[in-house]
Amino acid sequence: MMEILVFAGIPVLLLLLLSLLGATWNLEVDAPEESSEVFARRTQSNRDSALCIRRIFSPEDMRFVNRLGSPRLQQVYRAERTRVALYWVHLISVDVRQIMRKHRLAAASKENLQVRREMALILHYAEFRILCGLLAFSIRVFGPHALGNIAGHVVQLSEGIGRVLEDATAAGRIEPLRNVSGA
Amino acid sequence: MSDYPKRGGLQNAYEDLLHRTLASIPSDLSRLIYLASTRDYNTGTYHHEGLSVRYAPAEARDALKTAHQEVFSKLATLSLEQLVEELELYVRVSREQPSGLLRTWQQLEPYRVAVPMEADPALVRLFLSNIRLALEVLKHRRLQNQGLLSDASPLLSLGR
C-alpha cells in the first residue's frame, strides 16, 4: 500500500513542483492552419524567419521587462512569449509533418526508392520530433529562453529534411530519364 | 498611348514612395499604419492616389505592398524596448490623449489590421504579442509616473 502511495505521489509532487516553478500547462496555444499556403508564406523570407526565431528565444526582452521591476509585467511577458514560442514549435512541426506526408504518398508509388536515404530521412525526422517535444516541454516548464538553442537545431534539422527530400525529388526526376535512355 | 509610365519601374515607384510620402512620417509604426490604410479591406489591394498618377497601377500597388512588408518586418523583429520607444513616439505624434489611445489599442486592437497579408505567421504572432506587451509597458510607466501603480489590477488577460 505504501509503495503504491509513493509511486503515485512522485508524479503528483513533480507536477506540483513544476507548477510552482511557473510551468504553463494550462496556457492555450492556437494551432496553426495546416495548409501549404502557410508554408509558402513562411519560406518567403529566410532572413525574417531567422530574425523571428532569434527574437522569440532571445532573453534580451526578458531582461528589459525584468528591469522594469513589475512582477505582473514579468508574468504577462512570460505568458505572451511562451504562447508565441509554442506557436512557432507547432508551426514548424506542422510544416515538416506535411512535407513528410507528401513524401510518404509519393514514395508509396515509387519503384526506385533508396533505402539508405529513406532511413536517414526517418532518423532525421525522429530526431526532429523528439527535439520539438523537448523544446515544447522546456518552454512550458522553464519558459521560452531556457533551451532556446534547441530552436536553432530544430531549424537545422527541418532544413536537413528539406534538403534530403529535394535530393530525392531531383533523383526521382533523373531516374525515369535514365530508364528511357536505357542507361 | 499609355498615360504611364512617365518614370518606369517598380524600383522608381518604391523610391518615390520612400522619399516623398514615407520620409515625412515620423516613425515606423506610423508608416505601418499609413501603409495598411492604403490597402482595400475587401480586396487587399493597395492604392495610392499620387503614385498611381505617376506610375502604372501595378507598379504603384507593388511598391506599396513591398514597403508595407518591409516596414512590418522591421517592426516585428525589433526588441521589445525599441518597440516601446516606437509606440511612445506614435502616441506622442498622434496628438490624442495617451490614456485614451492606449485603452483603445488594448480593447480594439486596431494594429491587427496593419499586418501585411503575406507575412510569416510566426512573425505576425510575435508582432501582435510584442505590441500587447509594449502597451502594457507604456501603461505601467504612465501609472508609475502618476504614482497610481497597483500590481493587483490585471490589464491583460493571461488566458487570451
- As given in the structure block, the three cell numbers for residue A85 are 514560442
Q: Which residue of B has its CA nearest to A90?
A: B122
CA distance B74 to B157: 27
CA distance A27 to A89: 14
Between A168 and B23, the more confident residue is B23
Mean pLDDT, all residues of chain B: 88
Residue A77 has a pLDDT of 96
CA-wise closest residue to A138 among A50, A56, A26, A18: A18
* Test mutation, A34, A39, A56, A61, chain B, max B CBs within 10 A: A61
Residue A6 has a pLDDT of 56
Residue A11 has a pLDDT of 60
Reported ipTM: 0.82
* Test mutation, B65, B79, B80, B138, chain A, max A CBs within 10 A: B80
CA-wise closest residue to A23 among A130, A133, A138, A151: A138
From first to last of its 183 residues, what are the pLDDT tens digits of chain A?
556 655 566 665 655 555 555 566 666 666 665 444 444 444 446 777 888 999 999 999 999 999 999 999 999 999 999 999 999 999 999 989 998 998 888 888 877 778 888 888 899 899 999 999 999 999 999 999 887 788 888 888 888 888 877 776 665 555 544 444 443
Strand partners, A27: none
CB contact under 8 A, A41 and B120: yes
CB contact under 8 A, A32 and B159: no
CA distance B5 to B12: 10
Residue A167 has a pLDDT of 72
Q: Assign B5 a pLDDT band (cuts: 50, 70, 90).
A: very low
Q: How many helices (H) and strands (E) does chain B have?
A: 7, 0
B137 touches chain A (CB under 8 A): yes
Spans of all domains in chain B: 10-76, 80-146
B121 touches chain A (CB under 8 A): yes
